[in-house]
């Protein structure tokens, strides 16, 4: 029987198949408006601007800075990332040491950089999965924080215009770390604009993206499939 079912989690090929097949009905995430609302006092969400982090920007500086400039690090991380995507498990210490010996025989990576290689590989795997597989799925934070009438900044995803509409989605997306800082800084100093976008997000979320909406959609889909079957 056709119906609503999530993508498989046994591997990326299964995910792709589930997303392609007509039997898979992929729904956006949703929020619980009884738990997430503007609130007040101790229950108020205090952040002026909320943003959704993205693995696309995680290695630009900081923890992975030393690895970003290393060719062996990227070669090792690419191999490990493919294995992580296939097995859904982080690499073992022995596996990392084996690849380091093979691909970095001159020991250009210092001990601290080698220690960070597993996390770097996981980050690269997350990046590939996010970009290649989950570009059509918005994370939960825009729905929850949006229900609290807070503006939420999100990296540019194909799904956002369908979820929030072209105009609203265009006002909250960023393309890189620089544009995130610029947009966040502009909104932090403009309470009227923050309030305008926060109210628009809350209105959209309550109208289309609550758990109740998803339950109604799933039941309607199942009924329609049963009728066809």
Mean per-residue pLDDT, 46-74 = 74
Per the CB < 8 A criterion, the answer to whether 173 and 153 are in contact is yes
Residues 105 and 143 in one domain: no
- Angle, CA 182 vertex, CA 181 and CA 187 arms, to 5°: 95
Domain-embedded: residue 6: no
Domain-embedded: residue 92: yes
Per the CB < 8 A criterion, the answer to whether 82 and 121 are in contact is no
Domain-embedded: residue 89: yes
Residue that terminates a domain, selected from 84, 110, 132: 132
Domain-embedded: residue 97: yes
Strand order in the sheet with 50-51: 50-51, 152-155, 173-174
Q: What mean pLDDT value characterizes the chain?
A: 81
Domain-embedded: residue 1: no
Domain-embedded: residue 7: no
Residue that terminates a domain, selected from 109, 132, 155: 132
pLDDT of residue 135: 65
Query: Model confidence at 114, in pLDDT bands (50, 70, 90)?
Result: confident
The SS3 of residue 50 is strand
Q: Is the pLDDT of residue 3 over 50?
A: no
pTM: 0.66
Secondary structure percentages of the chain, helix, strand, coil, to 5: 60, 5, 35
Mean per-residue pLDDT, 66-75 = 84
User: Tens of pLDDT along 16-30?
Assistant: 554 444 566 678 899
Cα–Cα distances in angstroms (integers) from residue 143 to residues 60, 87, 130, 134, in the given order: 27, 30, 18, 17
pLDDT of residue 4: 41
pLDDT of residue 48: 81
Any bridge partners for residue 50, and if so which? 152
Q: Is the pLDDT of residue 89 over 90?
A: no
Which domain does 151 fall in, by range? 12-56+138-228
């Amino acid at each position: 029987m056709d119906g609503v079912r999530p993508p498989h989690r046994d591997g990326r090929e299964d995910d792709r198949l589930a997303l392609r097949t007509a039997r898979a009905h992929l729904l956006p995430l949703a929020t619980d408006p009884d738990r997430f609302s503007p609130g007040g006092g101790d229950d108020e969400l205090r952040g002026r601007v909320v943003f959704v982090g993205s693995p696309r920007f995680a290695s630009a500086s900081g923890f992975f800075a030393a690895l970003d400039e290393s060719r062996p690090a990227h070669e090792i991380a690419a191999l490990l990332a493919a294995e992580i995507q296939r097995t859904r498990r982080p690499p073992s210490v022995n596996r990392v040491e084996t690849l380091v010996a093979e691909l970095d025989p001159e020991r250009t990576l210092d001990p601290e950089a080698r220690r960070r290689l597993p996390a770097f590989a996981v980050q690269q795997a997350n990046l590939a999965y996010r970009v290649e597989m989950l570009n059509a799925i918005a994370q939960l934070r825009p729905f929850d924080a949006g229900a609290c009438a807070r503006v939420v900044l999100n990296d540019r995803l194909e799904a956002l215009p369908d979820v929030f509409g072209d105009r609203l989605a265009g006002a909250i997306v960023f393309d890189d770390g620089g544009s995130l800082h610029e947009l966040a800084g502009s909104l932090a100093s403009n309470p009227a604009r923050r309030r305008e976008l926060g109210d628009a997000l809350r209105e959209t979320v309550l109208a289309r993206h609550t758990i109740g909406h998803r339950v109604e959609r799933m039941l309607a889909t199942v009924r329609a499939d049963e009728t066809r079957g």
